[in-house]
Amino acid sequence: MLRTPVGPAIALGLVGFVMFAACARAQEDFPFQHELLLDAHPMKGSRRIPTLSVEPDGTATIDLWCNSMHAQINVNGDAISISAGEKSNQSCAPERQQADEDLFAALTSATSWRWDGENLELIGQKTLRFRQPTN
């Protein structure tokens, strides 16, 4: 008669279920369908602040300092990846164009995220904090 170790198989299954539930819970916590503002002051001579809005299917609209773009955001547990599309081609001052490039690089380098109910932090080469509008 051959005995199979059922206990370890059940334990492994439970660990897998707990990890899956944690990932699913994290994805539920992601602030889909919220317009979020970059936690920054407007640049001199403008009232514009970059925004991020993500739909449940991962499609996103990102308004940078000067231009806008559509993106695809994939959330898997606390991991995130951002694949940005083409930017609009607005004419703006060189410092705004550079700020767009810097923000674009920081967004696409994000590998993890954290949401505390009011603020979204995208963590990569640089941590970006987005907040809900107060008005």
Pick from 4-13, 19-28, 60-69, 79-88 the range whose average pLDDT is largest.
60-69
- Cα(73)–Cα(13) distance, rounded to whole angstroms? 29
What pLDDT score was predicted for residue 5?
Answer: 59
> Does residue 15 carry a pLDDT above 80?
no
- Cα(34)–Cα(99) distance, rounded to whole angstroms? 23
Q: Are 82 and 48 in contact (CB under 8 A)?
A: no
- Average pLDDT over the chain reads 84
Tell me the pTM. Answer: 0.77
- Domains defined along the chain, listed by start: 6-131 (2.40.128.270)
| Average confidence (pLDDT) over 14-23 | 41
